[in-house]
Amino acid sequence: MKNLITLLKKSVLLLTLIVSIYSCVDTTVDDPPVSTLPYNPDLVVTIADLKLKYDTQGEYTIEGDSSLFALVVGDDVSGNLYKSAIFQDATGGITGFNNGAGLFAGDSVRIYLKGVTVSQYHGLMQLQNFTVDKNIVKQKVGVPLVPKTISIDEAVANLDAYQSTLVKIEGVQFVDEELGMTYADTVGLTTQNRHLEDCNGNQIIVRTSGYAGFAGMLLPEGNGDITAILGRYDNTAQLLLSNTDYVFLNGERCGNGGGTVIDPVESVDESFDGATAYEDININGWQNIAVAGTRKWQGKDYNGNKYAQASGYNSDLDYMETWLITAPVVNTNGDKILSFKTAKAYWSHTTLSPMTVMVSTDYDGTNFETATWTTINPVIADASSADNDWIESGDFALSDYVGNVTIAFKYEGSDTESTSYRLDDIKISTEGGGGGGGGGAIDPVESVNQSFDDATNYEDINFEGWTNIAVAGSRKWQGKEYSGNLYAQASAYNSGLDYMETWLITPPVINTDGTKSLSFKTAKAYWSSTTLSPMTVMVSTDYDGTNFETATWTTINPVIADESTPDHQWVESGDFPLSDYTGNVSVAFKYEGSDTESTSYRVDDIVIATGY
């Protein structure tokens, strides 16, 4: 009995001890423990600070004890954001790639930046070489995420501002052609692009990995809103889902029987410069429809020239059909003209016609299947054409198609009838002449005074009357910003190219009496050119916007930045007289480089006028 009493006393004591221990445990969620990683409040930086430094010097690794405070707005728990965490602060967002393990959406963190590399991948700013143990101090967990509500148009137009931030887009739906599909391919585990559209026909990609936990889910079929990370690949906007918890597409769809009503435009001039190689063509106001099979017209790039291509090669399909349809063009007076160019490769069609060109006057974006389509016969590449040889269509009058006229390019093929067919330089206007020599004719101007204040950081220069051409490689002159100053820059850094060449050409300037002068300023950074000259300045008196390759270009020698110039220091050209170039004079700035000869070159304050 005594032993039993002793045992009971010990049991009561043990139970009391256990209750006492658990009563001391705070079961509420509290702030994570403070790390001992170095912290200097005078060395706190923002995401905007990191991007600005990259703009001035390219990729760099942080050496000091600086810190960044940010909120994790995207994680890789679902497997869609591979080894990534998306960080956002009040100044913008940045993707943390390399090791996102242990970070979760809603974590408020301090990132100790020593040893972290700031880099860029196809326009996407990213942090690399960090780990949770060595670089992350969690301040709070479970912080509510508040996305910024923007439209598709805003997302596409403001990629620099909104990249790697959490956004909400309302009034959208997956396009009709993709309903019944899953987010991605769970068999081949390949990444897939699906397309959201708003009720005005604007589209944006939703990109999903085949490894994502939700990859096999069917796309929702309604209209509503979606919250996701805004990513980018070059100038293509992409929505990236951490999960599908914030996909609410269960309302009534807009449109009627296949799309949304498209507002007619005055003209079309499409050179596919905004296309991305191997991705479906996605142009506002246009439709790209897979009628049979899942293949559509895709962007392609060869020797720096981008174009649209359709092909049945390796499709494993008995039959495929895809249509690329322009926006409706106002043709009330019947004075519009169609022109374009085509090319083919590896002709293998026997019973099918790979390309049919059609026109409609009652297509409005919603009625693809019921609209009236009439076949027309402009000149196109055929079996007798040499592979890869571009064929001009000539000017095809649309006088028989009064009203709003729409052009469709239909490709038919299969795994055996697999000719690759290409389209470029599609133009519908009163002038015609599309598909030739670098663009349309440009009206001469009295003067040029270009300070690039309207340029957009990281986007190709695109000003009325100017020509920006990628002759070799796909890179062009881009807008850049440093300390509030916008300028044009060309660089082969991290291009992976054996050779690149891009030309930035002013509009023709009237110089009948030879009194005009040229002035501008240049700067360089990270000189690495050995056999190539990164910058050549040239003039032409017979360039008109259509004849880049055949115009006569003469090299001139104003003062420009060179190898001996300190990095980032602007050099004035002085006033260079153009008295030897009477008529209409155009000035071209040619950049040449490669992945190894990658000097960054900058141009600003270009003036062509009298009195300089």
Query: What would the pLDDT profile of 119-134 be if each residue is shown by its tens digit?
Result: 999 899 999 998 888 8
- Give me the residues paired with residue 601 across strands: 490, 524
How much is the pLDDT for 99? 63
Task: Compute the radius of gyration of the chain from its Cα atoms.
Answer: 29
> What six digits make up the tokens of 389?
């040889």
What's the chain's average pLDDT? 87
Task: Check pLDDT > 90 for residue 15.
Answer: no
Reference 95, options 138, 144, 130; nearest CA is 130
Task: Check pLDDT > 60 for residue 32.
Answer: no
How much is the pLDDT for 440? 56
Our CA angle for 148, 151, 154, nearest 5°, is 90
What percent of the chain clears pLDDT 90, i.e. is strictly above it? 59
CA–CA distance, 285 with 264 (Å, rounded to integer): 9
Q: Tell me the mean pLDDT in the region 228-257.
A: 86
Positive or negative torsion for Cα 462, 278, 153, 340:
positive
Chain segment 585-600, per-residue pLDDT in tens: 999 999 999 989 999 9
Residue 310 near residue 411, CB atoms below 8 Å: yes
Reference 120, options 204, 211, 56; nearest CA is 56
The DSSP bridge pattern shows strands 420-429 and 268-270 to be: antiparallel
Reference 75, options 153, 136, 3, 15; nearest CA is 136
Chain segment 556-579, per-residue pLDDT in tens: 999 999 999 998 999 999 999 999
Under DSSP, is residue 4 helix (H, G, I), strand (E, B) or coil?
A: helix
Task: Check pLDDT > 70 for residue 117.
Answer: yes
How much is the pLDDT for 462? 87
pTM, entire model: 0.46
The b/e string for 548-561 (b: 16+ C-beta within 10 A; e otherwise) is beebebeeeebebb
CA atoms within 13 A on the CB side of 137: 15
> What six digits make up the tokens of 606?
């270009």
Q: Which domains does the chain have, with CATH numbers?
A: 41-140 (2.40.50.140), 148-251 (2.40.50.140), 268-429 (2.60.120.200), 448-610 (2.60.120.200)
Residue 268 near residue 428, CB atoms below 8 Å: yes
Task: Indicate the helix (H) or strand (E) that contains 135.
Answer: helix 132-135
Under DSSP, is residue 72 helix (H, G, I), strand (E, B) or coil?
A: strand
Chain segment 382-434, per-residue pLDDT in tens: 988 888 888 888 889 999 999 999 999 999 999 999 999 999 999 999 875 43
Chain segment 322-363, per-residue pLDDT in tens: 999 999 999 999 999 999 999 999 999 999 989 999 999 999
Q: What amino acid occupies position 215?
A: A
